[in-house]
Amino acid sequence: MQYDVVPSTYEQWRHCITVECGIPLTPEYIAQRLSIWQDEKTQETTRFRGLYGDAHWRAVISWFERAQKEAA
């Protein structure tokens, strides 16, 4: 299956995280990432928004929230 460099769907994002990067979407990891992405003042979030834009930033938050629900 071919994927874009920057994921544009939940399925692509999940594949990128879990398969390409080998990171398990554990409840702890999801909570840690959400705490950063939902804080607009962190340097990481500011940098990410500058590189990928607000629409993608919001999409990533929604994908982490979906993964959080699935992990529960």
What's the pTM? 0.90
Residue corresponding to tokens 């071919």: 2
Q: Is 27 in contact with 21 (CB distance < 8 Å)?
A: no
Segment 41-67 mean pLDDT: 97
- The model's pLDDT over 6-43, given as tens digits with 9 standing for 90+, comes to 899 999 999 999 999 999 999 999 999 999 999 999 99
Give the pLDDT of residue 5.
Answer: 79
